[in-house]
Amino acid sequence: MKSVGSTTILAKGVLLSALLMLFTSIGIAQTAAQAAATKEYKRLVNLSAALRKIPVEKQNKEPHRSFLKRNDKDIVYSEPAGEWFVRSERFWDLHKKYKTLAIADQIAWTAADNPLPGECEGYLNCHLFNIRSTLGEYLKLYPNGTYSKQAVQKMVEFLAYMADDAASAQKNYDGPVDASDRAELAKTINEFRSILAKVSHPETAKALSQLKAIEEGFK
């Protein structure tokens, strides 16, 4: 007969083996997910680079026309510049899919830095919304992420134009004209404040000051 001691040792051995197999399986799964995420991310980045190389005057000529058609679901046309961009939601969706992986921070930054189609034509709410949905979204996800310093610096750079304009008698930006637009502006600025409150970068104070100037200047 086996002793109680030997039975206990055997049970512990079985448990350790099971745990080892579990951790190994988790490691393999994470490695596979990381490889898949990297592959999908590089595809979008390479697509973006390829789009930038297409001359505007040759977009309707081969091989560019077929290339654009083949990637139609992943790209969007920007009328003012006459350029094609990767749809930002492709990067954001990829981030959501792999948000637990180390590469997620980089994917989110690429999404935030990706050019948006169209133009706001001086409409203040539109400009602020674009900043909120790009740089602001990155900082919301990663307030102290790898690219948080760059995000805040870019935000300060973009907000500077609107903050300076807010103090000017002859404004270049069109502020809100009705109650719903003013409510939208207030909501966006409050979202910025909530996001920046969690960011430790020194230039955050500058961004908050700019937002206050915009809020006061475009009441």
d(Cα 41, Cα 139) in Å, to the nearest integer?
A: 20
3-state secondary structure of 2: coil
Long-range CB contacts (within 8 A, 24+) of 124-129: 124/162, 124/173, 124/174, 124/175, 124/176, 124/185, 124/214, 124/218, 125/176, 125/181, 125/184, 125/185, 125/188, 127/158, 127/162, 127/173, 128/162, 128/185, 128/188, 128/189, 128/192, 128/214, 129/188
* Of the candidates 185, 191, 201, 189, the residue with the CA atom closest to the CA atom of residue 151: 201
Is the CB of residue 143 less than 8 Å from the CB of residue 181? no
pLDDT digits (tens, 9 = 90+) for 68-88: 999 999 999 999 889 999 999
What one-character-per-residue DSSP string does 111-146 give? Answer: HHHSPPSS--TTBHHHHHHHHIIIIIHHHHH-TTST
Which pLDDT value is given to residue 219?
Answer: 80
d(Cα 159, Cα 50) in Å, to the nearest integer?
A: 31
pLDDT digits (tens, 9 = 90+) for 191-217: 999 999 999 999 999 999 999 999 999
pTM: 0.84
d(Cα 159, Cα 213) in Å, to the nearest integer?
A: 10
pLDDT class of 169 with cuts at 50, 70, 90 = confident
In which region does residue 143 sit, left (phi positive, over 0), alpha (psi from -120 to 50) or beta (all else)? alpha
Is the CB of residue 86 less than 8 Å from the CB of residue 71? no
pLDDT digits (tens, 9 = 90+) for 113-159: 999 999 999 999 999 999 999 999 999 999 999 999 999 999 999 99
| pLDDT(23) > 70 | no
